[in-house]
Chain A
Amino acid sequence: MITSFLGHLHPILLHLPIGIFSLAFVLFYFNPDKSVRLSKQLGFILLLSWISAILSAASGFLLNTSGEYNEQAAETHQWLAIAFTILCGCVYFLHRYILKTNQIHKAFQPVFIAALIAMVFTGHAGGSLTHGADFLRPQQEETEKHVKDTVRQMLQVATTELPNGPKLPVVAPVDTALIKELKASGFTIRLLAEGSGWLDVSTINMNTLTQQQFEQLVRISANIYGLSLANQQLTGIDLKLIGKLTQLRRLDIRNTPLGDSFLSVLSNLENLEYLNLVGTTVSDEGLKYIVQLKGLRKVYCWNSQISVEAINNLKLKYPQLSIITGL
C-alpha cells in the first residue's frame, strides 16, 4: 500500500532533479560571476539535486513494481536514472573536493556534462514511457500520418472484404453512438466486416416496424449494404424512403404484403444486386421496374404473383439476370 503510494509520487519527484541540476549547470557555466563556481551555495544545490535524484529514482523503482509499463522501456529508463543518480553524486563529491582544494578537478567538468546528458536521456526515456515514442513528433506530421494510416487501413479493408468477389467502395464508418441508438429502437445492425463502414440491417428482432423507426434508416443511408424487411407486415409504412438508400446492394422483402407499386420506388437503387421477392404480391406488372435496375444480378420470385411466361420472357431478354423460381 505504502510502496504504491510512494511510487505514485514519482511524477512529482522526477521534476526536482531536472530543475535543480539544470540550475546548478546554468550557474556553473553561464553565470558571469565566476566566483559562484567555488561557492558553498552551488555545493548545496548539487547536494539537493543528488538527494532529489535518489528520491526520484527510488519512487520510480516502486512505481515500476506495479507492472503497468512496457518492461523493456521501463528497464532502459531505470538504468539511465541510476546512471544519472550516480553521476549526480560524483558531481557533488567532486565539487566538495573543489571547495577543499580551491581548484577545479580535471574530472569535474566531464562528469558534470555526462550527468547532464544522462539526465536528458533519462527524461526522454521516461517521457517515451508515459506519452509514447512519437510524443515529440510535430502535430501536423502526426495528423498526416494518421490520415495516411486510416486511408491505408480502409483500402486494405476494401481489398480484403470480398475475397474472390467484387470490391466495395470505401465508406466512412457510421458513428457508433448512432448505431447504438438504432439498435435500441429494435434494428439488428452488423458491420459487414471489422473496420468496414458497410452495414447489414435487419428487422428480424422487431415485432412490428413503425414509420418512425423506418425513417431513422435514412440517417445511415450511405452505409446500408443489405436490408431485410422479411416477414414484416409493413402496414401504414411509407416505403418511398427506400429510394434514398442508394448504396443498397441486397434487399430482402420476402413474405411481406408488398407488390408492384413498391418496386417503382426502387428505380434509384442502381447498386442493387440481390432482390428477394419470395412470398410477395409482386406480379408481371412489377417486372418493368425490375429490368430498370441495371446492377441487379439475382431476383428470387418464388411464391409471388409473377407468371411463368413472364419469367421465361425475362430470362430470354436479360440472360445476365439470374431469376430463381420454385424448384
Chain B
Amino acid sequence: MEEFFHRHFENKRREFLKGSVLGLGGVALQTLMGCGSRKPAAKQAIAAAEEINKPLINPHFQPRAKRVIYLFQSGGPSQMELFDYKPKLYSMHGQEIPPSVIGKNRISGMVSNQYSFPLAMPSATFTQHGSNGAFFSEHVPHIASIADDLCIVKSMFTEQINHEPAVIFTQTGHQLSGRPCIGSWLSYGLGSMNENLPSFIVMLSKGGGDQPISNASWSSGFLPSHHQGVQFMSASDPVPYLSNPQGIDRMDRRRALDFIKKMNRMQNEVWHDTEIESQINQHEMAYRMQMAIPSVSDLSDEPQHILDMYGEDVKKPGTFAYNCIMARRLAEKDVRFIQLYHLGWDHHGGLYSGIRRATKQTDQASAALVKDLKQRGLLDDTLVIWGGEFGRTSFSQGSLTPEGFGRDHHPGCYSIWMAGGGVKPGLVYGETDDFAHNVVKDKVHVHDFQATLMHLMGVDHEQFIYKTQGRRYRLTDVSGHVVHGLLA
C-alpha cells in the first residue's frame, strides 16, 4: 500500500514537472519568436527618453560647493541632548508634557500603550560657544569648538516616523525605496571630477549600533546603475580584489576588459539597454580604481598631529574617525559625493550611556574633518552635512528612571548642522518651542533641505528632472523651496 502511494506521488510529481517544463518551454519559444531584437518603435522610445533625460553636465548656475560630505547619523540623534538647549525641560523634569504641545502630532507605535508622557531633562549641560553664542551640550565639545564655522538648523522636520522610510525619505525625497538618492542625482547630473574614482562613495562605520540600514539609501533608483553609491568596506582594504591574482598582470586585465567591452557593445547594438552601458562604465571604473584606491587608503603619509586630531579610533579601519579622514582624502581627490553612515543613535532606552557612546565615536572626528578641510582650503567648496533622519521626543519612552529612560522617534523637529560649501557660517537657523517638540520659526522640510543642497551645487531642483515610467521625477518630488536664509 505504501509502495502504491509512493508511486502515485512520483507520478504526480513527474506530471507536474513535465507540465511545468512544457509551459516554460512555451513561454521561452514565444519569447524567442517575439523578440529577435527590439522593435524600431522601442528603439525610438529609448532614443526619445534619452533625449529628455540628458544629464546636466554643467550646473544651472555657479555652484557654491563642488563636493558634499554627508555625515549621516542614523537612528535619530536627540536634539535636546546636542544642539537644542531647552531650560524648561530641566525645571519640568518628570511632569507630563502638556497635551497642547503634543497636539495632533504623530507618535510612533512604540509609545501607543503608554498613558503617561513625563518630560525628561537632557542628559547633559549646555554652554555657549562661538561669536553668536550658540548652545552646545557637553557631549559635543569638539563640534562646539568649530561653532563659528557651523550653520545649525534647529527647525528641520520630516513626515516619516520610522527609520527605514525616514532615511529613504531624507536621501531620496520619497519614503518608499526605488528612487535615486542625492548622491546618485548629483553623480548623474554633474558627473565625476576625478575619472579614476567613483563620483559617489559610501562608507558605513562599524561599532555604532544594531539598527540596520538598507542599501536603498545609496541606490541610483531608475537612474543608470553606475551612479549608485560605491560602498567601501569597513576594513583595512576598503575595496576588495585590488591586486591582480597571481600570474595575471595589468595588461592581461586590460585585454580581458577590452574584449568584454567589445562583446558588451555588440549586445548593446542589439538591445539598446542603458544597463549594458552602465556595466561597461563599472568595469572601466573598477580597472582605474585599482591604481587610485591604494594611494587614498594608505594613511602612512598622514602626520601624527593630523591623526591625533581625528581621535584614537582613526587608525582602526571602519570606525567613524577612520571614515572621516578617508572622506577628507577623497574630497582632496575631488570625489563629488561622499556619504558616511554612522549607526547607533536610536536611543529608546539607556539614553544617558547611548548618547555618550555615540558622541564619543563621532564628535571629535566630525569636528576634525571640518577643521582639516578648512586648513587645506577645501571647506570653501565642500559642503559638510551632519544630521539624521528625525529627532526624538522630549518625553520619556517607558518609565522615567534616572539612567534607563529613552526617547522615542520624533519627526516634528530635529537639528542638523552644515559647514562650508556656501552656507552661512556661525548661524543658528530656526526655533523650536520650549519642549523641542514643535518648530515655531523658520520650518525646514526635508525637501527644502534637499532643494537648498541642490542649489549650493548649482542645480535648480525644479529643472533637474528625469522622466521614467510616464512621469517626470525630481529629488524634491513636487515640493521643496531653497532656504535662502541658510546661504552665505
Which A residues are closer than 8 A to B by beta carbons?
A: 157, 160-165, 168, 188, 190-194, 196, 198, 202, 204-205, 230, 252, 254, 274, 276, 278, 298, 300, 302-303, 324-327
Residues of B within 8 A of A202 (CB): 193, 334
Partner of A300, one of B57, B193, B376: B376
Q: Is the CB of A193 within 8 A of B58?
A: yes
Q: A164-B488, A327-B371 are in contact. Are A252 and B61 (CB under 8 A)?
A: no
Q: Is the CB of A194 within 8 A of B375?
A: no
Q: A193-B61, A193-B62, A194-B58 are in contact. Are A164 and B375 (CB under 8 A)?
A: no
Residues of A within 8 A of B455 (CB): 163
How far is it, in angstroms, between the C-alpha of A165 and the C-alpha of B58 when the chains are bound?
A: 19
How far is it, in angstroms, between the C-alpha of A204 and the C-alpha of B292 when the chains are bound?
A: 12
A-B complex: 10 closest residue pairs judged by Cβ atoms = A300-B377, A276-B377, A302-B375, A191-B58, A194-B58, A161-B62, A327-B371, A193-B61, A193-B62, A192-B62
Q: Is the CB of B58 within 8 A of A278?
A: no
How far is it, in angstroms, between the C-alpha of A300 and the C-alpha of B381 when the chains are bound?
A: 13
Residues of A within 8 A of B57 (CB): 194
- B residues 358-382 in Cβ contact with A at 8 Å: 371-372, 374-377, 380
Q: Is the CB of A205 within 8 A of B375?
A: no
Residues of A within 8 A of B64 (CB): 165
Asked if B196 is an interface residue, CB under 8 A from chain A, the answer is: yes
Which B residues are closer than 8 A to A by beta carbons?
A: 56-64, 193-196, 332-334, 371-372, 374-377, 380, 455, 458, 484, 487-488
How far is it, in angstroms, between the C-alpha of A276 and the C-alpha of B380 when the chains are bound?
A: 11
- Name which residue of chain A comes closest to B487, CB basis: A164
Residues of A within 8 A of B371 (CB): 327
Q: Is the CB of B333 within 8 A of A204?
A: yes
How far is it, in angstroms, between the C-alpha of A223 and the C-alpha of B458 when the chains are bound?
A: 19
How far is it, in angstroms, between the C-alpha of A189 and the C-alpha of B231 when the chains are bound?
A: 28
Residues of A within 8 A of B193 (CB): 188, 190, 202, 204
Measured CB to CB, the closest approach of chain B to A280, in angstroms, equals 11
29 contacts between A and B (CB under 8 A): A157-B61, A160-B61, A161-B62, A162-B62, A163-B484, A164-B488, A168-B62, A191-B58, A192-B58, A192-B62, A193-B58, A193-B59, A193-B60, A193-B458, A194-B60, A196-B62, A204-B193, A204-B333, A204-B334, A205-B194, A278-B377, A298-B377, A298-B380, A300-B376, A300-B377, A303-B375, A325-B375, A327-B371, A327-B372
Q: Is the CB of A327 within 8 A of B374?
A: yes
How far is it, in angstroms, between the C-alpha of A190 and the C-alpha of B333 when the chains are bound?
A: 16
Measured CB to CB, the closest approach of chain B to A49, in angstroms, equals 38
How far is it, in angstroms, between the C-alpha of A204 and the C-alpha of B196 when the chains are bound?
A: 10
Q: Is the CB of B375 within 8 A of A278?
A: yes
Q: A193-B458, A194-B56 are in contact. Are A205 and B195 (CB under 8 A)?
A: yes
Residues of A within 8 A of B194 (CB): 204-205
Q: Is the CB of A194 within 8 A of B59?
A: yes
Residues of A within 8 A of B375 (CB): 278, 300, 302-303, 324-327
Residues of A within 8 A of B334 (CB): 202, 204
Measured CB to CB, the closest approach of chain B to A73, in angstroms, equals 20
Given contacts A193-B59, A194-B59, 6 further A-B contacts (CB under 8 A): A164-B487, A196-B62, A202-B334, A204-B333, A252-B377, A303-B375
Q: Is the CB of B62 within 8 A of A302?
A: no
Q: Is the CB of B61 within 8 A of A161?
A: yes
How far is it, in angstroms, between the C-alpha of A188 and the C-alpha of B193 when the chains are bound?
A: 7
Measured CB to CB, the closest approach of chain B to A311, in angstroms, equals 13
Measured CB to CB, the closest approach of chain B to A179, in angstroms, equals 11
Measured CB to CB, the closest approach of chain B to A208, in angstroms, equals 15
Measured CB to CB, the closest approach of chain A to B238, in angstroms, equals 20
How far is it, in angstroms, between the C-alpha of A276 and the C-alpha of B332 when the chains are bound?
A: 13
